[in-house]
Amino acid sequence: MKAELLIKNAAQVLTVKSRKAKVKDKLEELGIINDGAIAARNSRIFRIDKKIKIDAKKTIDASNKVVMPGFVDCHTHLVFSGSRENELKIKLEGKTYLEILESGGGIYATVNKTRKVDRKELVALGLRRLDEMLLSGTTTVEAKTGYGLNPEDEIKCLKVINELNKRHAVDVVPTFLGAHAIPLEFKNSPDKYVDLIIRNMFPKIRNLAEFCDVFCEKNVFTIEQARKILDEGKKFGLKPKIHADEIYWTGGAELASEIGCISADHLLESSDRGIKKMAEKGIIGVLLPGTSFTTMEKYADARKYIDYGLPVALGTDFNPNCWILNMGFIIALACYSMRMTPAEAISASTINAAFAINRGKEIGSLEIGKKADILILNVPNYESIPYKIGMNIVDTVIKNGKVVVENWRLRK
C-alpha cells in the first residue's frame, strides 16, 4: 500500500492525542514520539510510529525538526476593511478601549470602512490574511462577522467567509457576530437592533454560519440581550459562543454555562464561580493574550483557571485592534505573560482549540483517521516553540495531506 506522504526521522512528533478537550495535567501531555514518523493517504493520517516502512509519493526527512498538528486559531475577526494603526497613539495617551469605541472609533471606524467595500474586495483581503496565517502554521481558523451590523452587510461578510473557505487551503469556520456593537443608528434603541438580529438576520443566515457570538460587555450588549440572542440563535441551529467578561465582569461566564455555550472567550474579569461552572460543563475557555497585549490591559488568570479544571484554548483574536495572525506569537505570550507552560500552550492551540470550534474529532491532533494537517518546525524540541519569539519557525505545512508551504514559501 503506497502512502501519499511520509515524514520520517522527526526529532519529536507531538501527537497531542486526546479524545476530549484537555484539562489540568493532561494539558502537559503532548504524546511525544522521539525519532518518529507519520504517513498520510487520501488526506488523512494512516500511520504514526517510530519507523514506518512504506513507499510514498513524497518523503520528507524531518531530522532535527518537530512535527506537530497544524495550529487551530479558534477566535478571529478575519473579515473587515481598513486598519486602525492610528489608535495606538491614542491608547498610549491613556484612552481605554471602551472610550475609543464610545467616541465613534474602534469597531465603529471599521464598520464604516467595511460597509463601503464589496464582497470581492473583502475576499481579496481575506485571502491575503489567510496566506499569512498558513505561512505561520495555522491550518484551521474560525472567522467572525461583526463589522457589518445590518442585514445586508452582515450577510455580505458571511458570504465572504464561506467563499474564503472554498478558495483557500486553510479551513475557515463561520461565526455570526451581528451582536458585536450596537450600530450607531440604534444607539437609543438597542433592543430594536436585538429584534432585527433575531427576526431579520437569523432566518437568512442559518446556512451561512455555524456559530453565533455576542460581545457581552458593559455599554455593549447586556447579559439579558446576550441570553436572548444566543437562545434564539440556537433555534436556527447556531451554536452559541460569547465574548465574556473581557473588560468588566458582567456574568458572561455564568451565562455561558447556563445556556451551554461551546466556548466563552476572553474571561479577563470572570468570577471564580463562573469559571468553576464552565469547568463543570466542559465549556472551553478561549484565552486571547494578544488582546491584552495590544490593549495594554491585564491578562486572564490562566494558572487559576487551569487549576479549576477549565479546558483552556488559545486564539489570536485577529482584528483591527489586535493585528496578530501568528499563533506562534500567541503561544509565546501565553507562556511569558500568562505563565502557561510550553506544553500547555501547545495543547491549547491545537486539540483544545479544535474542540472550541466543534472540530475535535477531525483535527487538532495527529491520530490515525484524522485530517493530515501537519507542521514541520525548524526547531529540535517543543520547548523552543515559545522560546524563539517573533520569528517564523514553520518550515513546512501540510494541509489535507498536501504540502502547501515548503521552505517558508507558499506552494500555489
Which residues are near Fe ion by CB under 5 A?
317
Interface pick for ligand NIG out of 15, 18, 81, 110 (rule CB under 6 A) = 110
Inter-residue contact 17 to 348 (CB < 8 Å): no
The site string for ligand NIG over 240-259 (x = CB under 6 A, - otherwise) reads ---x--x-------------
Q: Say how many C-beta atoms besides its own lie within 10 A of residue 377's C-beta.
A: 26
Q: How far is the CB of 384 from ligand NIG (least distance, A)?
A: 29
Q: Which stretch binds ligand NIG (CB under 6 A): 17-25, 205-213, 232-240, 315-323?
A: 315-323
Q: Which three cell numbers stand for residue 333?
A: 505570550
Interface with ligand NIG by CB under 6 A: which range of 13-21, 106-114, 203-211, 229-237? 106-114
Contacted entry of ligand NIG, Fe ion, none for residue 277, CB cut-off 5 to 8 Å set by kind = none
Residue nearest to Fe ion (CB): 317
Tell me the C-alpha distance between 156 and 149, whole Å.
11
Q: Is 213 helix (H, G, I), strand (E, B) or coil?
A: strand
| 225 or 396: CB nearest Fe ion | 225
Residue 292 touches which of ligand NIG, Fe ion, none (Cβ within 5-8 Å per kind):
none
* 8/64 Cα distance (integer angstroms): 11
Identity of the residue, 8 or 180, whose beta carbon is nearer to Fe ion in the bound complex:
180
Longest dimension (CA), the chain: 68
CA nearest to 398, candidates 41, 54, 23 = 41
Q: Report the alpha-carbon distance of residue 68 to residue 59 in Å, rounded.
A: 16
Per-residue binder mask for ligand NIG (CB under 6 A), 279-308, x = binder? ------------x-----------------
Of 17 and 241, which has the nearer Cβ to Fe ion? 241
Kindly determine how many residues on this chain lie close enough to bind ligand NIG according to the rule CB under 6 A.
12
Using CA atoms, how far residue 372 sits from 132, 188, 277, 363, 369, in Å, is: 20, 50, 35, 8, 8
Nearer to ligand NIG, 76 or 165 (CB): 76
226-230 long-range contacts (CB < 8 A, ≥24 apart) are 226/179, 226/252, 226/255, 227/255, 227/258, 227/259, 228/194, 228/198, 229/179, 229/194, 229/197, 229/198, 230/255, 230/259, 230/261
**Position 116: which residue type?**
K
C-alpha 256/C-alpha 246 separation (Å) is 14
Tell me which stretch binds ligand NIG (CB under 6 A): 102-110, 304-312, 324-332, 370-378: 102-110
Cβ-based nearer residue to Fe ion, 317 or 373: 317
Q: How far is CA 82 from CA 106, 107, 263, 392, in A?
A: 12, 11, 28, 25
227 vs 243, which CB is nearer to ligand NIG?
A: 243
105 binds ligand NIG (CB under 6 A): no
Site for ligand NIG in 27-86 (CB under 6 A): 77
Q: Is 126 exposed, middle or buried (0-12, 13-18, 19+ CB in 10 A)?
A: buried
Measured from the CB atom, is 106 or 364 closer to ligand NIG? 106
153, 301, 317, 395: residue in contact with ligand NIG (rule CB under 6 A): 317
Nearer to Fe ion, 15 or 291 (CB): 291
Which contacts (CB < 8 Å, 24+ apart) does range 194-197 have? 194/221, 194/225, 194/228, 194/229, 196/150, 196/151, 197/229
Q: Smallest distance from the beta carbon of 380 to ligand NIG, in angstroms?
A: 35
Closer Cβ to Fe ion, 210 or 317, answer by number:
317
Supply the minimum distance, in Å, between the C-beta of residue 319 and ligand NIG: 4
User: Of ligand NIG, Fe ion, none, which one sits near residue 107, judging by CB under 5 to 8 A according to partner kind?
Assistant: ligand NIG
Residue that has been written with the C-alpha cell 522527526 in this structure: 10
**Positions in the binding site for ligand NIG (CB under 6 A):** 77, 106-107, 110, 215, 243, 246, 291, 317, 319-321
